[in-house]
Amino acid sequence: MLSAAVFAPLVGAVVVLLLRRAAAATQRWTAVGLAAVPLVLLLAAWARFDGTGSFELVESLPWIPSLGVSYKVGVDGISLVLAVMSALLFVASAAYPVDVKERGHEYFAWVLFLECVSLGVFLALDLFLFYVFFDLSLVGMYFLIGVWGHGEARRAALKFFIYTLAGSLVMLLAILGLYLATDPLTFDMPTLIAEQPLAGSGLVGTLVFFGFAFGLGVKTPLVPVHTWLPPAHVDAPAPASAILAGVLLKLGTYGFIRIMLQMMTEQFVRFAFPLAVVAVVSIVYGALVALGQPNLKRRIAYTSVNHMGYTILGIAAAAAAIGAGDERAQALALTGATVEMVAHGLITGALFLLSGSFWQRGGSYEIADYGGLAGRAPLLTGAFLVAAFASLGLPGLAGFVAEFQIFVGAFAVYPVLAGIGLLGILVTAALFLQLLQRLFLGDLPRRWSSWRDLDRVETTVLASLLFFVVAIGVYPRWLLTPIESAARAIMGT
């Protein structure tokens, strides 16, 4: 079942490529149907998931036995919810209207390819397989930005590729360091988690830890290795931005949990504080810089830096709580970090799709070009309002559930850092309230007198994403149950 979820989009990419002469609508809806196959399969996997704390639904085959490499996939509560969120976002992004420049068969093939490798990262239980999928994600996004982007898209795509490839190469060295410490040599992730091969290794363990921290930090992205992100978002087509923010950034934060926290627990506990400091810098810096951005997509992009800072703060606090023996703080922080990944994927994915609606109608991302749209476009206004309030952490929405748990867990181990991090929420509230005022209040410019509200497809896609944003905020139990089963296993309880 899990293998089918991973490789069905790859087969779908080949099918869509064969539709070169088909109508654009045929290409789009064929791609949407194929992108939905993994979502259906993963929901079926969720129904079969027991929450035992160990990896479930495992599928394994020998791949390169001489090197200890196998094809192995499986899920725990954390990887399951992230995979389902990602599959949902791929369906939404494939369905959302965008200018495919009469090359729809290629565009949707790359979207499906990217879905395959992204799900592969979340489901892989072999570190070599994890890296293969992780690195291939660069290829799909490079072409989506470079070919279907606008402005300086080629330059942004090149910067994205080189920057993140450099991080991946450093991470590859760290993977080799971890692999060479095993006896017998293996890339098997459950084995690496159980054996902790670099425990007590001194300098070697430290170098491997920081190799992972750099590689995954670039992907996340954390300050100061975040500078590839804003241009990539600004010049990418809106659905690609939704995938980049909603899914690809989570490959980094997921790696912090699965590799660094679980396989290198000793090193993570030792260096949790400096990582928490970097996270708080990302929180405050991302919010402050976002506040000053006149470009809609650039502003949303910097809020991703801010929100990924929350996630890393939660993971670092969970590691520190291990060292302090505070299981309650660890559980809250780790659960909150995972919920933040899911919430951010849905919320920021919706915000980037909404930015695409502005581009399709107005041909500009400049905030100053708009105003007074509330009366003209109530559906657009309502969707943006819900997504913005969720992003700033309003109670009753998904962002609040995540941030509340992160900060409760962080206050138990790093009260000063958590207090500073709260400033990020205040600035985030200011930047979104200002954005709502400038886009939707005031007088409607004359040139927008014929502005179209969201069409049926846009409304359906956004309603689907925002429904889960509200569902998590109002009744989070259904999401917390699988996540907490994984958190308990990581705590060893």
State pLDDT tens for residues 469-479.
Answer: 999 999 999 99
Q: Which residues contact 459 (CB under 8 A, 6 or more apart)?
A: 379, 383
| Average confidence (pLDDT) over 141-160 | 91
Tell me the mean pLDDT in the region 125-150: 94
Q: What is the per-residue pLDDT for 353?
A: 97
486 in any annotated domain? yes
- Per residue in 200-243, pLDDT (tens digit) is 888 999 999 999 999 999 999 999 989 899 999 889 999 999 99
Provide the pLDDT for residue 321.
86
Would 213 be classed as within a structural domain?
no
pLDDT band at 322 (very low <50, low <70, confident <90, very high): confident
Number of domains observed in the structure of the chain: 2
Asked if pLDDT for residue 326 goes beyond 80, the answer is no
Statement to judge: residues 332 and 308 lie in one domain: yes
186, pLDDT greater than 90: yes
Per-residue pLDDT reduced to its tens digit, 424-460: 999 999 999 999 999 999 888 888 888 999 999 999 9
**For residue 217, is it within any domain?**
no
Element (H, E) at 347: helix 327-362
112/244 same-domain check: yes
- Is 248 found in the same domain as 396? no
pLDDT of residue 489: 87
Residue 265 lies in a domain: no
Question: Rounded to whole angstroms, what are the CA distances from 57 to 22, 123, 124, 179, 272?
Answer: 38, 10, 12, 25, 32
Do 151 and 77 share a structural domain?
yes
Span 371-389, pLDDT tens digits: 899 989 999 999 999 999 9
Q: How confident is the model at residue 462 (pLDDT cuts 50, 70, 90)?
A: very high
pTM across the whole model: 0.95
In the predicted structure, residue 180 carries a pLDDT above the cut 80: yes
- Picking from 325, 341, 339, the residue whose alpha carbon sits closest to that of residue 492 is 325
Considering the domain architecture, whether residues 90 and 142 belong to the same structural domain is answered as: yes
pLDDT for res 44: 96
In a shared domain, residues 105 and 155: yes
Tell me the residue range of the domain where 291 lies.
271-493
pLDDT of 153 reads: 86
| pLDDT of amino acid 388 | 96
For residues 375 and 332, membership in a common domain is answered with yes
Question: According to the model, what pLDDT value does residue 86 have?
Answer: 97
235 and 286 in one domain?
A: no
Same domain, 277 and 241: no
Q: Evaluate if residue 482 carries a pLDDT over 60.
A: yes
Of the pLDDT bands very low, low, confident and very high (cuts 50, 70, 90), residue 260 is very high
Check whether residue 77 and residue 45 sit in a common domain: yes
How far, in Å, are 207, 214, 395 from residue 164 at the CA level? 19, 10, 35
Q: Is residue 488 very low, low, confident or very high in pLDDT (cuts 50, 70, 90)?
A: confident
Note whether 414 and 382 are same-domain residues. yes
The pLDDT-based confidence of 327 (bands split at 50, 70, 90) is confident
Residue 128 lies in a domain: yes
Q: 101 burial class (0-12, 13-18, 19+ CB within 10 angstroms)? A: exposed
**8 A C-beta contact, residue 466 and residue 386:** yes
Q: Are 473 and 401 in contact (CB under 8 A)?
A: yes
Q: Which residues contact 34 (CB under 8 A, 6 or more apart)?
A: 8, 9, 11, 12, 15, 16, 112
Percentage of residues in the chain having pLDDT higher than 90? 86
- The per-residue pLDDT for 328 is 81
Q: Is residue 480 part of a domain?
A: yes
Residue 187 counted as domain residue: no
Residue 341: its pLDDT value, please? 97
Dump pLDDT digits (tens) for 92-114: 999 999 999 889 999 999 999 99
| Residues whose CB falls within 8 Å of the CB of residue 468, separated by 6 or more in sequence, listed in order | 88, 346, 398
Average pLDDT over every residue of 349-355: 96
Tell me, what's the pLDDT at 52? 87
Q: Are 300 and 251 in a shared domain?
A: no
295 part of a folded domain:
yes
Closest CA to 80 of 125, 126, 128: 125
Does residue 491 have a pLDDT over 80? no
Write down the pLDDT at residue 183: 87
